[in-house]
Structures are given as C-alpha cells and as structure tokens.
Structure 1
Amino acid sequence: IRHHRGRPGGRAGAGRRVRRRGHRGLQHRHGKRHAGFPGPDHLHAPAVAAPAQRRGPHLLRRAHPAGRAVHRRSAPRVEAQPGAPGQPGVHLLRRPGARILLPAGRRETPEPLDTYGYYDQLSSHPASDLRRDTVLNLAEMGIPVKYSHHEGAPSQHEIDLQYTDALTMADNVMTARMVIKELAQQQGVYASFMPKPFSTSNGSGMHTHQSLFRGNSNAFYDPDDDLHLSVIGKRFIAGLLRHAPEITLVTNQWVNSYKRLVPGYEAPVHVSWTMSSRLDLIRVPSYKAGYETSLRVEYRAPDPACNPYLAFSALLAAGLKGIEDEYPVPSPITSDVASMSAEERTARGIGRLPTSMGEAITLAENSELLRETLGDFVYETLIRNKKQEWEQYRSTVTDYEISRYLPLL
C-alpha cells in the first residue's frame, strides 16, 4: 500500500516481497488527512522537537521505535512503497491562558484565531502566515506538501502531505504535528489536533488514502471494470468495511473522537462505500483517464488524534484480510446514506460505527484481527489504558450536566 506522500526527487524505499497467497508483490501506499495526537498508552512516543529558529528547519529526533515496530508487523505482507496524499488538519486557537478561571470556576473557552470558511483567501493574517511558515518548514525538512488551504470550520486549516510509503508517512505525520505546534507557540497561539474542539462546527478528520501496487502498476485498477476497480481493490474495500467497527478504537482513540462521528457534520457514521458522496466511510475518488496510478481508496474515519503507526497497521490488516479471504464487496451507495431509513440501511447490510469509546472498546476486545495486528503487548496495553480513560470520563461531571441539571433538580 502506498501512503500518498513521496520523497522529493527520490524513489520509494524498498520493502520485502509478499509471501502471502493472493497478493504477491503488492506494495502498500497510504495517504493521510489531518495530523493529531496518539493515545495515552504512550506506545507512540512522539518525536521530540529541539529548539529551532523561526525560519530555519526544525530539528526533530526520530519517533520512538515502539510504534514503528507495530507497523513493521504488517510490512512483510506487502512491499512498503509510496502512494496516496495526506491531509493533516488543525485548529488554530488564541491561547486561553494557563489556568485563568472565570467566576463560575470554569477555564476560559479557547477562541478561534479566525472565523473564515472553506478555501477563504487570507492574504495577510496570522493564521495564513502560520500555515505558510509550516509548509516552508516542512519542505526544508524533506516533507513536501501538495496543498494547503482553509477548511470549513472557524480557524480550521488543512495541509495535504505528499504521498509516500506507509511507515514514512506515519513518521511525517508525527513530525508535522510537532512542527505545527511549535510554530504556533512561537506566534502566541495554540494549534490543536483535537477531533472536535467546537460542538457546533465540523470536526477535523485525517482521511487516509490507500492503494496497492505491483511494481509500477496499480493493483486497484482494472480497465475492463465499469468502476475501473479491480477484484483486489473491491476485496480490500470489503475488508475495511467488515472490520471497520472493531478497528475504530485505533483510528479514533479518544473520548472526543466520537463527538466528531455524529450526523450532520460531514463525518462518516455508517459503514458504507461510494464513488461520489463524502458522507460515507469509504470513498473511491472518480477515475480520470490516464491517471491509473491515482486510483485509490479513501478511508474517512480516522481523526487527528490517532496514532498513525497503529492506525495504518489496522487499516492495512483489514484490507489484506478481505483480499486473503476473498470477502464479497457490496454495491456502492449511490444515494444519501444519511437520508435512508433505519429499515432500508438494515436491508442493505449497512452497519454503523461505534458511537462512543465504550462501545469501541467492547468491539476491539473481541477483535482477533486487532490482536494479531498489534501484538499481544501493544493490544492489551491499548485496551487497558482506554478502559481507564473511559471510566475516568464516565465518572466526570461535565459542564453540560451542571448547566442543564443544577438549576432544574
């Protein structure tokens, strides 16, 4: 699989040939959307930023090998080579002040740095200046950016990383997070990769584009298919669909992640795939003649808070399981899945993603695929820490409860 992001002027790094039936010689490419934080299990060990000058490249140490080792568990199944573009998104907030308390005892609410919308052009504004500096710094570090622009929510910005192999993409996502946060800190603002910082606007996703290659040929492409999608591509999609609920704890690993996965905010809720709509879990971008290598699968659930090493490994494992076991793929959805009745979705076999971390934990606990992919130690540590986090959240009295029930009860 190739994570769509490549080395400037270089060829993708070679990996090991496949020894599994059904997909010999395939290569994994990934693409990423929206950078973020790994979970409290500390298995990610993010890169550590060293002091850097305002306009010079930021020096970061390599990410801790623990998270990378998990991804290498899947690497022997495909040859790691480059592939799909990634799009890290970030909210820029005015710093709320260390522990300034309001009369009610609540911490000051963060204020968006701007209130602009999708693709708004900010010719001279701290937010656009910060985004430009980020792109320039990443380029100096050998992490090229395909696109960058303002997203739909207030102070929400998107940076699309150029495609590369999955492991390098995960490294680049971790580096980009640190660079973005450090540059923001220098400007006196706060860069947050929280999936849903504001309840009334769209959250940030990390849409991941994936493709499988044999040498220089896209294994997802079939010129004779009506959708130009090969049997391998369809079975890869089928694997993602079947295992999506059980791997959601890895792709969406925080309590706040599930505040994003709700109807009405351009985030996937139902387990379906399409060739057009941006509301389904999986989208296959329209094929353009002459661009066979660009045919790819976009998985839209991951958010900026995920650990990219674990997330990419889980996505790869799910897709390859579909290929190995020859899962049948349902027909793509051509209508609005959100407007269907519950009965219609059930009749068409359309499931739903977990609605809370608690539900995601239960599904992950029963996942043989996730245990096999992560390994016993990482898997058990993840489950244990997420249970602890969920229990802490469940026992916390929130501002919502105070404002709604205190005057009433």
Structure 2
Amino acid sequence: MTEETTEPLGSTPYGHAEERARAAAARLTAAGVHGTALTWVDNAGITRVKAVPVGRLAETVRMGVGMSPCFDVYLVDDSATSSPHIGGPDGDLRLFPDLDRVTVLAAQPGWAWAPVDRYEQDGTPYVACQRGFARRMAERALSEHGIELRMGLETEWIVTRGPLPQTGAELEYPSTGPAYGMARLAEMADYLRDILEALAAQGVEVLQIHPEYAQGQFEVSVAPSDPVGAADLTVLVRETIRAVSLRHGLTASFAPVVEPGGVGNGGHLHLSLWREGRNLCAGGEGPFGMEPESEAFLAGVLRELPALLAIGAPSPASYLRLRPSRWAGAHQCWGLETREAALRFVAGGERAPEAANAEVKCVDAAANPYLLTGSVIAVGLAGLGAGLRLPPPITGNPVDEGIQPRLPTSLAVALGHFERSGVLREALGEALFGAVAAVRRAESELFDGATPLEIAAATRGRY
C-alpha cells in the first residue's frame, strides 16, 4: 500500500502527518499487519532496522524512534570505528518513517516496511542522513538546472542452500543450469515465480528477471524512479528476495563476491536526465544523440570514478569483483553498449529514444544506495557546471587497447582518491564525508593481509 500526500515528507519531522499515520495503521491492521520495519542503510552498506507495532505508528510519526548516531561508523562485521564528528556512546537521533513508502511485505506475513529519515532530537535534519543527502542532491539538480534524474539499480544475487558459512566450506547451489540458461530458470521456476508475485503484490514494476552468469546467480531489474525512490526500491527488492529465499530454504547473498575467482554481484546504476518530460540523453547533437548537458554530466561522472569507487565499491570484497574482462567496468572509460567500460551508454534507438540512459557498471550491492545516487548526482552536476566534454568512446575490450586507465584495484587506493575529491567533500558535508572515510579506512585495515577466500567468507553473508 502507498499513502498519498501533498506535502514533501522528509523536509521536517512528521508530526503534522499523525492523522494520516492513524489512518494508515487502521488499513495495515485490516490487512493483517502487526509490525512495521523501519530501515536505513549505514555507511558500511548494511540495512539496519528498528520495528514498531502498527498501533504505535501514529506516535512514531509524531515523536520518531530513537537510534544512536554511532551506527554511521559501524563496519561490516558490526565492530565500530570513530570519525571527527561521529562516533562514541553519546547522542541520539530520531527515526521518522516516510508514509509515502509504507508497503505491506508480501513475503513476510504480518509485516510492513518503510524507509526512514533521521533527525536530531530538536527536530533539525541530521546532517549525516544518507537518504537526506540523496534528496538534497536531487533537489539541487532541479533547482539549479531544471533537471530531474531518473535512476534504477540492478539487483544481482547468488542463492545457495542453507546458511552461508564464514569459512572456506564448500557451498551448495540449488541449480546446475548454464549461465542465462532456460534450464536454470526451469529448475528455479517456483522460486522465481514467488519473487515476481511478491514484488507485484508490493507494487514494484519488474522489467525483467533472468539467470545470470555465475552459478546460482540471478538478476532482476525494476522500473526507474527518482533518486531517493530508486534507492528505496533497491532496499525493498533486496529484502523481498531475501525473505522469499528463506521461505524456500535458500540464502540470498548480495555481496560483491561469494566465491573468490568467480563473477560477483554488481549493483549497476542506470540514469537519465529529464527536463519538462524530455530525455536529455537523446535527440541532441552530442555523442550518440546526447544533449550537451547530458554529455557534461556524464563527463563529470567519468572524471570522478576513482573517487566514486569509495562510495559504489566500498568493501575490500568489491575489488575481488572489479577485474578486467568480466564486464565489471574495471577501466576508467566509456563507450556505446560497451560492457567492459565503467560507464556504458545505451542510446535507446529510434523506436525508444526515451529509453536512452547511461549505466555505471563499476559499482556493487555493498554500496549504500542513497550515498550512491546522491554522489553520482553531485559529480555529474560538477561536470555540468564546468562544461566538461566526454573523451572519445572506446570499442572492444580496454585490456586489448592497452591505453585506458585502470580504476583503483583496492579500497585503500580508492579511499585516497575519495579523500582528495573536493566535489564529494563539499556535497556530502564534513560530518558524512568524514564518517564514510573512517569506515572505509577501518574496513581496509580490518582485512589487511587477508586472503581472497577469507575476505569473501567474511562478507558474503553480510549484505
């Protein structure tokens, strides 16, 4: 279910929405819902949650739910670090659910879900709220340039039987069919049908679902949305897949790699720029039909890719996936329908110019989707402001051409680029920028000297 509003929830605490929350609670109760999961995603990419009984939804909208800011410096293993502005046992925040996003969870009977915005105790927006950051960047694109962003994140996952071991134990996969094979779909037909059914019941428009390359791997793509909505959908889709998997006796992993040496899970981000209903990625005189604003935006993204990796490829495990000749986008280059390029342009064609978009391929599902969408907008706007132009596109494999710069091959190297990025520092603000940097540094140190198998085993069950 989705509640409608004429006011932009998230700009202030939601005390004014208490009456709406009571009506929503009544409808949730009538639908057999007893609890609402309230989620946010921390800087390590972990979806955290607090839940409230449906009967307390109105009070939650009025007063919020308490949660410590220390989770912004938690690591993937639930240990913690500290940063100049965030960390330690002091302080408290208030979590306010977005009533526009309240959804009855089809695969978790008796439960609903809503993402939250985070506020200080005095009602001011929390400066390190990742969802608020994504919203600010989207609003900035609209207010400064009249541009609306449409975004969508692909969801790839690998499914295994039983829980994922945190050791080198052999994994058991529920299917043996070939990559992209109908045989694998037939083996998993009931499972994939239940995923489609659950997503449809939740109002999620699925564009496609299919077996992927790695053993036990699948992918689902959903319709694009605004940047905050795209990040919300990513959380909802993953948790729906997780719940359906558990009901089938399976475990879904969205980690960058499940087994080292194999093809991992990407979290590719698709984006297009729109003004007054027109797609600026098509119909222009720039490369492959781009308008100049679209070219400048994408040039800004391409320029900042080494720094963006600290946002979009945030785990040491990410660099086990980000290898050449695996369609992971390991080189800092772009091209038309070139799946080895980190930035791939899709022209859409004469039949569907509205489908023209760009795909950032070098990112994975360990990323906080709100940080990712907001950061891509920030660097794109910097390119737009500077009037950047794209370099010549590549064709073929960048390895064969031998002249395309390789993106960072470790989290530590990506972190160095991130810390030198004035664009991202300004956009994120000192508190959020510092917390992200602290988490990346601590996770890099956490896995320093670990083998690829140790890194994969320690992280594959966390996302």
Is structure 2 residue 160 aligned with structure 1 residue 93? yes
Letter of the 2:230 partner, please give it.
Answer: M
Counterparts of 2:320 and 2:363, CA distance in 1: 13
- Asked if the contact 1:245/1:353 (under 8 Å) is kept, the reply is yes
Q: How many residues align?
A: 358
Residue number in structure 2 paired with 1:372: 426
**Deviations 1:127-169 (CA, angstroms, capped at 9, x unpaired):** 3322221221112112111110111111100011111111111
Is structure 2 residue 443 aligned with structure 1 residue 389? yes
Counterparts of 2:157 and 2:358, CA distance in 1: 23
Residue number in structure 2 paired with 1:308: 369
Residue 63 of structure 1: how far off its partner (Å): 4.0
- Asked if the contact 2:141/2:377 (under 8 Å) is kept, the reply is no
Counterparts of 1:334 and 1:379, CA distance in 2: 35
Residue number in structure 2 paired with 1:259: 320
- Asked if the contact 1:38/1:305 (under 8 Å) is kept, the reply is no
**Deviations 1:344-395 (CA, angstroms, capped at 9, x unpaired):** x1xxxx3221101111111111111121222211111111122111111115
Q: Tell me the secondary structure at the aligned position of residue 439 of structure 2.
A: helix
Residue 400 of structure 1: how far off its partner (Å): 7.6
Residue number in structure 1 paired with 2:417: 363
Greater strand fraction, Structure 1 or Structure 2: 2
Greater helix fraction, Structure 1 or Structure 2: 2
CA change 1:49–1:333 in 2 (3 A) is: farther
- Asked if the contact 2:329/2:361 (under 8 Å) is kept, the reply is yes
Q: How many percent of aligned residue pairs carry the same amino acid?
A: 24
Q: Which has the higher contact order (CA 8 A, sep 6+)?
A: 1
CA change 1:391–1:216 in 2 (3 A) is: same
Equivalent of 1:278 in 330, 339, 359? 339
Counterparts of 1:237 and 1:55, CA distance in 2: 39
Residue number in structure 2 paired with 1:215: 276
Counterparts of 1:160 and 1:380, CA distance in 2: 33
- Asked if the contact 1:254/1:305 (under 8 Å) is kept, the reply is yes
**Mean CA deviation greater in 151-160 or 222-231:** 222-231
Counterparts of 1:69 and 1:183, CA distance in 2: 30
Counterparts of 1:168 and 1:277, CA distance in 2: 27
Letter of the 2:373 partner, please give it.
Answer: F
Residue number in structure 2 paired with 1:136: 197
Counterparts of 1:354 and 1:127, CA distance in 2: 37
- Asked if the contact 1:220/1:229 (under 8 Å) is kept, the reply is yes
- Asked if the contact 2:301/2:380 (under 8 Å) is kept, the reply is yes
Structure 1 residue runs of 4 or more that deviate by more than 4 Å after TM superposition? 37-44, 46-58, 96-99, 122-126, 223-226, 395-401
- Asked if the contact 2:207/2:222 (under 8 Å) is kept, the reply is yes
Counterparts of 1:97 and 1:218, CA distance in 2: 43
Is structure 2 residue 177 aligned with structure 1 residue 116? yes
Letter of the 2:361 partner, please give it.
Answer: R
- Asked if the contact 1:236/1:320 (under 8 Å) is kept, the reply is yes
Q: Tell me the secondary structure at the aligned position of residue 409 of structure 2.
A: coil
- Asked if the contact 1:49/1:59 (under 8 Å) is kept, the reply is no
Equivalent of 2:294 in 218, 227, 233? 233
Residue number in structure 2 paired with 1:59: 112
Letter of the 1:94 partner, please give it.
Answer: R
**Deviations 1:279-313 (CA, angstroms, capped at 9, x unpaired):** 00111113311422211111111111110000011
CA change 1:47–1:320 in 2 (3 A) is: farther
Q: RMSD of aligned C-alpha atoms? A: 3.2
Equivalent of 1:320 in 381, 389, 394? 381
CA change 1:358–1:59 in 2 (3 A) is: same
In structure 1, runs of 5+ residues without a counterpart are 1-6, 16-36, 100-105, 402-409
Counterparts of 2:441 and 2:161, CA distance in 1: 32
Residue 274 of structure 1: how far off its partner (Å): 0.4
Residue number in structure 2 paired with 1:190: 251
Describe how 1:132-171 pairs up with structure 2 within 5 A: 132-171=193-232
Q: TM-score, length-normalised on structure 1?
A: 0.78
Q: TM-score, length-normalised on structure 2?
A: 0.70
- Asked if the contact 2:106/2:201 (under 8 Å) is kept, the reply is no
Counterparts of 2:306 and 2:437, CA distance in 1: 15
Letter of the 2:374 partner, please give it.
Answer: S
Counterparts of 2:42 and 2:424, CA distance in 1: 16
Counterparts of 1:43 and 1:98, CA distance in 2: 18
Q: Tell me the secondary structure at the aligned position of residue 83 of structure 1.
A: strand
Q: Tell me the secondary structure at the aligned position of residue 215 of structure 2.
A: coil
**Mean CA deviation greater in 198-207 or 154-163:** 198-207
- Asked if the contact 1:67/1:310 (under 8 Å) is kept, the reply is yes
Letter of the 1:217 partner, please give it.
Answer: R
**Mean CA deviation greater in 80-89 or 380-389:** 80-89
In structure 2, runs of 5+ residues without a counterpart are 10-39, 54-103, 119-128, 456-463
Q: Tell me the secondary structure at the aligned position of residue 191 of structure 1.
A: strand
Letter of the 2:158 partner, please give it.
Answer: H
Is structure 2 residue 246 aligned with structure 1 residue 179? no
Residue 72 of structure 1: how far off its partner (Å): 2.0
Counterparts of 2:373 and 2:453, CA distance in 1: 35
Counterparts of 1:108 and 1:286, CA distance in 2: 44
Counterparts of 1:374 and 1:153, CA distance in 2: 35
Letter of the 1:91 partner, please give it.
Answer: I
- Asked if the contact 1:58/1:179 (under 8 Å) is kept, the reply is no
Residue number in structure 2 paired with 1:18: none
**Mean CA deviation greater in 255-264 or 388-397:** 388-397
CA change 1:311–1:292 in 2 (3 A) is: same
Residue number in structure 1 paired with 2:70: none
Counterparts of 1:255 and 1:78, CA distance in 2: 32
Residue number in structure 2 paired with 1:72: 135
Residue number in structure 1 paired with 2:100: none
Counterparts of 1:128 and 1:43, CA distance in 2: 29
Counterparts of 1:58 and 1:253, CA distance in 2: 31
CA change 1:178–1:226 in 2 (3 A) is: closer
